[in-house]
Structure 1
Amino acid sequence: MKKTTLIIGITTLLMNFSVLAQNEPIEFGLKAGLNYSNLIIDDNIPAETNAKIGFHLGGFLSFKLTDNFRIKPELLFSTQNAEIEFSENINMGDPNDPVFGKRFKADIKQNLILLPIMADYYFSENFDLEFGPQFGFVINQDITDNNNDFSFGNDDYDKFEVALNVGAGFTFSENYRIGLRYNYGITERDNNKSSVLQFGLSYKL
């Protein structure tokens, strides 16, 4: 029920933007770039994480509300990866368990569909700041133990995420914009939150 309400709310919001911007041209384009992603884990879990490189690609719409203010929804495919290393021995309760008393690392690879809804304020024709929420859905997840001694489940995991984005962009020609954006997960998925730095290039069609 909550997921249905969220989808209806997002659709209504985008329709309202379309009405507000009906007297202005709606711009659209493509974007792609790199992710530097990590996980912020629960304090009760004895582990450390390391960031890894991924990528994102997709498209965007831009609704011009005033000369300086725009609303820009995006639809992106994103790969977000991290490495987790347990920093203390793990007692599974069974001395015969293969990971009893061992330390291990694991690679976490996730593919997501992201829907950021950004508010862009242009201080000039070239420079803008952006802020807004992001809704994410994990398509699939793969966790691989680097020591080959522990089996992780890759099917039972939290799939929905809400995050906040903040960033800045520089438009260096009529059609091209480079941007730097940070997104922070405000909802937990499997006792961790996402932390992703994105560098992207946008092309207005």
Structure 2
Amino acid sequence: MRKIIPISLLILLPIISYSQKKMGVLIGLNNSSISEGVLGQVSITDKMGFHLGGFYEFDLNEKIKFRPKLVYSQQGNRDGGSSSIEHIDYKSNYFNIPLNFKFYESTYILAGPQIGILVSEEKYTPFIEGETFDLGINLGIGQKIKDFFLELNLYQGLTKAIDKPNYDGELVKGTNTLIQVSIGYYIF
């Protein structure tokens, strides 16, 4: 492990220093839910959270940029009142690392994997815990306006966020599903 970090830095440092690079910050609203599998439930509710973070962007070529982010995000269902998977009252907070590729410049598309690390959770409905590590896929669109940008991102987790027993006693896999609206600013 100790050898991997210096070797990785030796490989990435020339790429980062050679390319055109930008840094910035972002903040926005989340609409999150625990879905039953991949896109098992994608719905907009009145239970909102927020996210904030920073990003680093550098050119791979004229039309493609690599844009990793570090984002603090409130996730989970944030709702209660039923024993079905759609109404689990589960609030979670993650540090997410989206490893997005940005296609084009003014109006753009974002796509890539995302790694999430569970920071804290509050659960008000009994269920069996899932993983503290979240892995999924991001897809988004954005519009750059001078040094500002607006983005709409969709995230679907692939790893289990929670397991919850249904009425038959079977465990239902719950994954993170997230719709994010962000505003950001390029610092330089």
TM-score, normalization by structure 2: 0.77
Q: Using the alignment, how far apart are the partners of 1:181 and 1:36 within structure 2?
A: 11
> What's the counterpart of residue 113 of structure 1?
95
Gaps of 5+ in 2: 38-42, 163-172
Quick check: 1:54–1:81 contact (8 Å CA) kept in 2? Answer: no
Q: Which residue identity lines up with residue 161 of structure 1 in the other structure?
A: D
- Equivalent residues in 2 for 1:94-173, closer than 5 Å: 106-122=88-104, 125-145=105-125, 152=126, 157-173=130-146
TM-score, normalization by structure 1: 0.71
Q: Does 1:81 align with 2:76?
A: yes
What is the CA distance between 1:23 and its match in structure 2?
A: 2.5
Q: Using the alignment, how far apart are the partners of 1:33 and 1:15 within structure 2?
A: 34
Quick check: 2:31–2:44 contact (8 Å CA) kept in 1? Answer: no
Quick check: 1:17–1:63 contact (8 Å CA) kept in 2? Answer: no
3-state SS in 2 of match to 1:86? coil
> What's the counterpart of residue 32 of structure 2?
37
> What's the counterpart of residue 179 of structure 2?
197
Higher RCO (CA 8 Å, separation ≥ 6 residues): 2
Gaps of 5+ in 1: 43-48, 88-104, 146-151
What is the CA distance between 1:55 and its match in structure 2?
A: 0.6
Deviation per residue, 1:144-194 (Å, 9 max, x gap): 25xxxxxx479x542111010000110011x10100000000111222111
Q: Using the alignment, how far apart are the partners of 2:109 and 2:182 within structure 1?
A: 14
**Number of residues paired by the alignment?**
164
3-state SS in 2 of match to 1:161? strand
3-state SS in 2 of match to 1:19? helix
Identity score, percent = 25
Q: Using the alignment, how far apart are the partners of 1:131 and 1:106 within structure 2?
A: 29
> What's the counterpart of residue 58 of structure 1?
53
Q: Which residue identity lines up with residue 204 of structure 1 in the other structure?
A: Y
**Cα 1:129/1:50, change in 2 over 3 Å:** closer
Quick check: 2:148–2:186 contact (8 Å CA) kept in 1? Answer: yes
Q: Which residue identity lines up with residue 129 of structure 1 in the other structure?
A: I
> What's the counterpart of residue 23 of structure 1?
18
Q: Using the alignment, how far apart are the partners of 1:15 and 1:199 within structure 2?
A: 36
Q: Which residue identity lines up with residue 143 of structure 2 in the other structure?
A: F
Q: Does 1:185 align with 2:157?
A: yes
**Cα 1:76/1:23, change in 2 over 3 Å:** same
Q: Using the alignment, how far apart are the partners of 2:89 and 2:113 within structure 1?
A: 27
Quick check: 1:134–1:164 contact (8 Å CA) kept in 2? Answer: yes
Higher alpha-carbon Rg: 1
